[in-house]
């Protein structure tokens, strides 16, 4: 897929001219950046994915994207590590759990998310900053610790999540009821769409007092556009070309990226309007989450949000709801394939009061095991990227790791899981997910609500994982829902 900027660039050209210009752009980019790529073995003893002269694995990346390139690297890296040359960059894939943990624990001065904004970078965070501006992803040093602590207090603490539980339950019930409206059965074309809308509505209510955040599909469409651009190779290629021609200031968005940022700003502006309306109408109500984040980072209890809270408002337009939606979707697929697991879960659901926060949060071990096992098999963010800024020796053992086949076995999580097991669905180290407990709670509540309310039959059992920016299904997940009476 070619981004809008490149479409605009070639829109008035004939097909032959457009093809020639695109190929010429890539060749020029390759020759201009060709400095250190050679036939030498860059990492002696480490398997290399061979590419073509000068460009290395760039053609694979441009045709299939980073996820498919990583898939090929993983396939040849029997010892948990492999690499490829991509023009003048060396892309190293580390998939041994011990080595992954070591790299993710490196401080930012050694391994950053973005690298130098003035030169070519393949990091999706590099593109993401241009699309939505600064965010928690961008910051390093002591400021990061403070911001992460604010998030953890708001989304990963038991007290805070208990206060959100009734709202989560209310939104989940509304969206579950909407699947059949007043009827007893319904054919749902794609349950992921419904789960995503539940999550978007939940974020809208939690943050701004706007349970209609999902209405009209603008947020979901904008979110998918941002995610696709962040994980697509063409924005990086096109941006690097403009950098070379000095058509753009390093780190600043292109014209088409600036247009997308303007769309983000409009959605955020509408949400702030909803927040202020809620605050006027409910002066004695507890502060909404975005206002809490603002107060904790220097903002007032009314008026403009703090800089940090404003940045999170942008970030939230694509971050958070897909993890909830995909977790619920994969759980339904896995449970439908394994009716014995579904039976165990239903027995647990029917045996406890699922309107009680403590029960759902910490006293339903099989529910927790199902959610965690789905995350193990289908982590929403299946890979992350770090730019090595300083020479470092990878000290982890090169001893091969024996991985078991990917069966759906929730029982492996009963009684918790050992920290030395290769489970890192929410990241690891100082930059792990700061809101995963809230996301898990939301997924649990929506899954339980659906299963209590409906008999759910996933129509196809051939759903496979699609390696994109996120780990999605290869096709829509059609489900027949029948009300339980």
Binding residues for heme: 433
Residue 466's φ and ψ, nearest 5 degrees, are -110, 115
Beta strands in 56-179 (DSSP E): 81-86, 89-94, 111-112
Contact 379, 323 (CB under 8 A): no
Residue partners of 103: CB distance under 8 A and separation at least 6: 94, 111, 386, 394
Alpha-carbon distances of 18 from 9, 198, 229, rounded to whole Å: 9, 42, 21
User: Hey, is 60 helix, strand or coil?
Assistant: helix
Contact 232, 126 (CB under 8 A): no
CA distance 63 to 40: 25
Known binding residues are 433
Residues 182, 187, 189, 191, Cα dihedral to 10°: 70
Contact 428, 101 (CB under 8 A): yes
Q: State CA 294 to chain mean position distance.
A: 24
Residue 189's φ and ψ, nearest 5 degrees, are -65, -40
CA distance 312 to 457: 37
CA distance 269 to 209: 14
Tokens 């603490």 correspond to 157
User: Hey, is 89 helix, strand or coil?
Assistant: strand
CA distance 8 to 478: 36
Contact 202, 445 (CB under 8 A): no
Q: State CA 14 to chain mean position distance.
A: 38
Q: State CA 443 to chain mean position distance.
A: 15
CA distance 53 to 30: 10
Residue 210's φ and ψ, nearest 5 degrees, are -125, 85
Contact 129, 138 (CB under 8 A): yes
Q: Return the half-sphere exposure (C-beta side, CA atoms, 13 A cut-off) of residue 36.
A: 7
């Amino acid at each position: 897929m070619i981004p809008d900027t490149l479409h605009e660039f070639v829109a008035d050209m004939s097909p032959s001219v457009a093809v020639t210009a695109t190929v010429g752009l890539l060749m020029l980019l390759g020759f201009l950046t060709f400095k250190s790529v050679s036939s030498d073995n860059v990492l002696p003893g480490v398997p290399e994915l061979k590419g073509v002269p000068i460009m290395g694995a760039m053609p694979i990346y441009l045709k299939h994207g980073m996820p498919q390139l990583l898939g090929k690297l993983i396939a040849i890296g029997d010892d948990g590590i492999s690499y490829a040359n991509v023009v003048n960059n060396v892309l190293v894939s580390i998939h041994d759990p011990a080595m992954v943990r070591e790299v993710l624990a490196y401080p930012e001065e050694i391994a950053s998310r973005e690298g130098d904004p003035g030169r070519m970078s393949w990091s999706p965070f590099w593109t993401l900053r241009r699309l939505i501006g600064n965010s928690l992803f961008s910051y390093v040093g002591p400021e990061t610790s403070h911001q992460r602590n604010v998030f953890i207090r708001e989304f990963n603490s038991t007290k805070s999540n208990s206060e959100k539980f009734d709202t989560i339950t209310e939104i989940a019930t509304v969206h579950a009821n909407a699947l059949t409206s007043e009827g007893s059965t319904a054919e749902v074309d794609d349950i992921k769409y419904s789960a995503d809308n539940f999550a978007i509505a939940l974020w809208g209510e939690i943050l701004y007092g706007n349970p209609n955040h999902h209405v009209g599909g603008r947020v979901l469409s904008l979110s998918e556009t941002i995610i696709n651009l962040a994980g697509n190779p063409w924005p990086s290629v096109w941006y690097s070309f403009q950098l070379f021609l000095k058509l753009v200031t390093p780190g600043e968005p292109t014209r088409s990226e600036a247009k997308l940022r303007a769309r983000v700003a409009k959605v955020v502006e509408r949400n702030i309007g909803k927040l202020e309306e809620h605050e006027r109408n409910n002066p004695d109500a507890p502060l909404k989450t975005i206002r809490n984040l603002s107060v904790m980072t220097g903002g007032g209890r009314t008026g403009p949000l703090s800089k940090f809270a404003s940045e999170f408002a942008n970030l939230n337009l694509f971050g958070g709801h897909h993890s909830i939606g995909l977790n619920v979707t994969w759980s339904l697929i896995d449970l439908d394939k394994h009716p014995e697991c579904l039976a165990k879960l239903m027995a647990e659901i029917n045996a406890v009061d699922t309107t009680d926060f403590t029960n759902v949060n910490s006293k339903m071990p099989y529910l927790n095991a199902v959610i965690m096992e789905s995350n193990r098999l289908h982590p929403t963010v299946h890979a992350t990227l770090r730019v090595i800024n300083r020479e470092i020796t990878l000290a982890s053992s090169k001893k091969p790791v024996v991985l078991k086949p990917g069966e759906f076995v929730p029982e492996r999580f009963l009684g918790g899981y050992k920290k030395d097991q290769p489970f890192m669905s929410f990241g690891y180290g100082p930059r792990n997910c700061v809101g995963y407990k809230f996301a898990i709670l939301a997924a649990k509540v929506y899954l339980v609500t659906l299963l209590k309310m409906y008999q759910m039959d996933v129509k196809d059992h051939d759903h496979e994982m699609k390696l994109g920016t996120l780990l999605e299904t290869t096709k829509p997940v059609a489900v027949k829902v029948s009300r339980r009476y």
